[in-house]
Structure 1
Amino acid sequence: MAKSSRRRRAAKSMDRPSASTVGEVNPDDRISSLPNDILLNILDRLDVCNAARTSVLSRRWSQLPAMLPRLVISAPDLLPSETKTKKTNGKLVRRTKAAVAETLANAGLSNAELVQRTNAAVAKALADAAKAVANTAAAKATKSILARRDPGGCTIRLLSMTFYLKDDAPISVGHSVASAMATCKIEKAEFIVLTEKERLECDVYDVENYGTRFVSFFNECVNAFAGLTRLHLQNLRFAKSDFVSNILVTCKKLNYLGFLNCDTEDWITLQVEHAQLSELSIVNCRFDMVKLAWVPKLTCLVFEFWVSFKKPPLSFGHVPLLEVLRLSNVALNWHKMVKLSTFLHETSVRDLRLGFKSEKIWVQPECLTRRQAYVFCQLRILNLLSIPEGYDLTWTMFFLEAAPSLEELILTVIDHPCEMEMDEKVRRQKSYSRNKGVRWESPTSNFKHHCLTKLTFFCFQSEEYMVSHVRRVMKAAVNLGDVYLYDRLTCIYCEGEEPLKPIVFPKTDKQMSSVEKQIRKGIESPAIIHFLAAAEISDDYCARLTEDC
């Protein structure tokens, strides 16, 4: 009997895991024993929904989501899958199909057109329903998480809310955030306000409707807006011309303000005076003039697309810290050339990006006086984006002569069929330029630049005008260290579109050697020439190649 008992105990001890294998068999025990700060660091790497799900693991885990230092809740991230949406909204699909089919049938359309339009209407109805569900989920998650927050607990380092301007969800989010601001310490608070339709889908009625909705939301949640440090708005038209100024007055803590496709019914002069604003982005907006009257902490400005104006509707007042400037436009025949020395005379930027959208060059090369040259004396990085193909690039040497401290020059020469107006009749009607280039000859012979160390050329081709320009820069920049020549960039929106001109990037070692000999012929330069595929572009440079705000 004793022997049998000993055998049973021995068998159990063999089944029991040893101390060295506990972590392999039941790792949850080991994870749960970690300090709170490490567990919070782990949860911080998850999205809010997945982080919240961990609260069911134990009483201790249930307390952690309310202690997270970063709360990023985004309605687009909560959109249900297409399969789930169709299953959930089966009744909606059937009703939409029936209603649309009846309406279109009465219009006398063919069966093919009937099916196509019905499917499009169903797809839109499903997308709208999905956004409504996601918006509601985001509002509920915000209310739940912030309500459980300990007022005397951890500081919220970042509270970022992305939601659609739809139904009652924005006001619910606003009230939850305002309550949290009153009871908790929040370092950064951000609203990214989206609309159901994208910018290119919006008509006049849409932007007016969205503008009305936003004003109601703003007036209902003034306390939340007063505590924001970042605010991004899109696709809004405001009935009252002074409402944009009201945003600046109310949101006194803003560090970042972004407008995309926004305007007022009566185009106004927007006078920007703000003590804290450090970043301002105005893209595809229609204001009669934007005056940066007094923005003492502004360091970064994005101002893109003033198609409706002959010259940029922008003026600089007191912006002593402005370092980064992004300017882009689609220039037509009637647009005036911009003399940057005059336009930027109150600034001294260090990082300048100019975009041309594969159309007419709108910058006027200049022979600068000493006083005018002050504008470029601090310039360190110059990025010339979407220069049209096939035109002489000598005009870009103006920047080298104007900016003695320039360290890096980035050129992208490309025609984007997906972005360009290709219909010749429409181009004539809208006054697109046939000749997109600009001529310039340097008044200084044998000019030398001593600070430029890096030249990056995207969409380089073995064309004579590109090869000549690389030679020109290498000859002038006596301390140039590296020349990076990249193949043509891939564009997801240009898939299926044939390039307007054949691509002649050197692929083989023999071709690269031949092009390098052409570039170096008669030039003594220490620069190393690198031929690189588009796939080798770093994430840092990918960010520099976008036109986004």
Structure 2
Amino acid sequence: MKSKRARFTRLSSIASNNVRGHDDRLTALSDDILLSILRRVDIATAARTSALSKRWRYLPWLLPKINLDARDFLPSPLPDPIKPQLIDRAMTSLTRATRSLLGDCRSECTIKRISLKILMTSNLPCDLGLLVSDAIDREMVKELDLDIDHKEPIACRYEDLFLQAQRVERFFRAYPSVLRCLTRLHLHGVDFTEWDIHHFLFDCCGQLQHLSMHECEAGERSVWQINAPNSDLRSLEIYASGLESIEVLCLPKLERLHWDIWFSSSPPLRFGSVPALKELFLLNDATLHQGAFSLREVLHGANIHTLNLHFQGEKVWIKPEGNQLCSVFSNLRKLSIYGIYVEFELLWMINLLEAAPSVEIFDIEARKPLPV
């Protein structure tokens, strides 16, 4: 804290000396107020403000977090479909803005976290990776939140997912420093069938704490086994995945798991050693071929205190187990049930509450059947 305050005072002194003699209202504002303004603008605006004066040039580096988002450079409203040329232009503009911020940074500047949201294409500017990697190597950046998406027209879905995986892998191979300080990662539309995702996520990303995967594949009816006793991962979110199931054999620091939509007819989850797991969120609109599974079997090995079940349809995809759930509900404090139809409301309320005598918060949202 002392070194950060000293750095703030030193940079403020430099900036103040550069603007002495000016009496405009903006210059008269304190650094705290100016930083509050910068927190509310996008990266494009922040980069432009650095050209106002020498004082403004260093203000962005006093922010606790810098957000670099390619979507800030896309036109509004967005055309549908988005042309690849617009994406390339947005990524080029993002690179220029990043260079403006990182290139002007003094050697004593250090930022705790950068949030980088990129649109991965075949024409991804290599300068962007170099800029971020160099800032990490110079210890200017301590933590990195990385969001990798793609908005190119999809000619063939599975081929597109495979190409996206190749681009992501090439990016990380080219800039290994990025993996070293990666704390949050969001992957969208990646087929890692031929990619050792386990080694990449849990061996190479030593600081990774939050992982989110949207529409990612690993081969038909695949089972993802996670055995990472040295991982710092605390939050795992899976959305619309083609995975058959996930077996969390060992994730000692995992606190929260969110799975949104799965397609298997068997239990989607199995737990091994997850001593820190406290919150589980399961959302699924079950199809006719998907049978109900035992919630007790899924929760075996876990010790959760918050359980969210979202059914989104007329089918309830868990079995009525009653008192058999007592052993896995022993520490349950919050139970939420959403998207359950009114015909099942009382039955399922009684069934689950009987097995969870320690529940302090019970939240239920019932739906009416759709008109025929």
Q: Which category of TM-score, normalised to the shorter sequence, fits these structures?
A: 0.7 to 0.9
Quick one: distance in 2 between partners of 1:225 and 1:34?
39
Do the aligned residues in 2 keep the contact of 1:135 with 1:163 (CA within 8 Å)? yes
What's the counterpart of residue 149 of structure 2? Answer: 194
Match of 1:339 among 294, 302, 308: 294
Match of 1:286 among 242, 245, 257: 242
Match of 2:196 among 239, 242, 259: 242
Matches within 5 A, 1:336-415: 336-369=291-324, 372-388=325-341, 390-391=343-344, 393-414=346-367
Match of 1:221 among 172, 175, 179: 175
What's the counterpart of residue 500 of structure 1? Answer: 371
List gaps (5 residues or longer) in structure 1.
1-26, 86-121, 417-498, 502-549
Q: Deviation of residue 37 (structure 1)?
A: 3.7
Match of 1:320 among 275, 288, 300: 275
What's the counterpart of residue 64 of structure 2? Answer: 69
Quick one: distance in 2 between partners of 1:239 and 1:346?
28
Do the aligned residues in 2 keep the contact of 1:226 with 1:250 (CA within 8 Å)? yes
What's the counterpart of residue 47 of structure 2? Answer: 52
Matches within 5 A, 1:80-479: 80-81=75-76, 123-124=80-81, 127-153=83-109, 155-169=110-124, 171-197=126-152, 203-265=157-219, 267-273=222-228, 274-307=230-263, 309-369=264-324, 372-388=325-341, 390-391=343-344, 393-414=346-367
Do the aligned residues in 2 keep the contact of 1:324 with 1:352 (CA within 8 Å)? yes
Deviates more, 1:167-176 or 1:46-55: 167-176
Q: Deviation of residue 288 (structure 1)?
A: 4.5
Do the aligned residues in 1 keep the contact of 2:120 with 2:150 (CA within 8 Å)? yes
Aligned to 2:190, the other structure's residue is in SS state strand
Do the aligned residues in 2 keep the contact of 1:241 with 1:265 (CA within 8 Å)? no
What's the counterpart of residue 109 of structure 1? Answer: none
Quick one: distance in 1 between partners of 2:171 and 2:50?
32
Q: How many residues align?
A: 349
Q: Deviation of residue 280 (structure 1)?
A: 0.5
Aligned to 1:333, the other structure's residue is in SS state coil
Are the structure 2 counterparts of residues 39 and 169 from structure 1 closer, same or farther at C-alpha, using a change threshold of 3 Å?
A: same
Aligned to 2:108, the other structure's residue is in SS state coil
RMSD, aligned CA? 2.7
Do the aligned residues in 2 keep the contact of 1:385 with 1:411 (CA within 8 Å)? yes
Do the aligned residues in 1 keep the contact of 2:68 with 2:115 (CA within 8 Å)? yes
Quick one: distance in 2 between partners of 1:264 and 1:38?
48
Higher fraction of helix: 1
| Residue-by-residue CA offset, 1:249-268 (whole Å, 9 max, x unaligned) | 21111010111111224735
Quick one: distance in 2 between partners of 1:67 and 1:394?
56
Choose 1 or 2 for highest CA Rg: 1
Are the structure 2 counterparts of residues 202 and 35 from structure 1 closer, same or farther at C-alpha, using a change threshold of 3 Å?
A: farther
Are the structure 2 counterparts of residues 237 and 380 from structure 1 closer, same or farther at C-alpha, using a change threshold of 3 Å?
A: same
Quick one: distance in 2 between partners of 1:209 and 1:389?
45
Quick one: distance in 1 between partners of 2:327 and 2:247?
21
Are the structure 2 counterparts of residues 379 and 28 from structure 1 closer, same or farther at C-alpha, using a change threshold of 3 Å?
A: farther
Letter in 2 for 1:257: L
Aligned to 2:246, the other structure's residue is in SS state strand
Q: Deviation of residue 402 (structure 1)?
A: 1.3
Are the structure 2 counterparts of residues 322 and 35 from structure 1 closer, same or farther at C-alpha, using a change threshold of 3 Å?
A: same
| Residue-by-residue CA offset, 1:267-321 (whole Å, 9 max, x unaligned) | 35332415210000122223354221221111110123221x2223321111111
Q: Deviation of residue 192 (structure 1)?
A: 0.5
| Residue-by-residue CA offset, 1:217-243 (whole Å, 9 max, x unaligned) | 121122212210000001111241523
Are the structure 2 counterparts of residues 36 and 331 from structure 1 closer, same or farther at C-alpha, using a change threshold of 3 Å?
A: same
What's the counterpart of residue 16 of structure 2? Answer: none
Do the aligned residues in 2 keep the contact of 1:245 with 1:270 (CA within 8 Å)? no
User: Which of structures 1 and 2 has the larger relative contact order (alpha carbons within 8 angstroms, sep 6+)?
Assistant: 2
Quick one: distance in 2 between partners of 1:325 and 1:28?
56
| Residue-by-residue CA offset, 1:392-446 (whole Å, 9 max, x unaligned) | 5312222211111212222222369xxxxxxxxxxxxxxxxxxxxxxxxxxxxxx
Do the aligned residues in 1 keep the contact of 2:213 with 2:237 (CA within 8 Å)? yes
Are the structure 2 counterparts of residues 298 and 143 from structure 1 closer, same or farther at C-alpha, using a change threshold of 3 Å?
A: same
Letter in 2 for 1:44: R
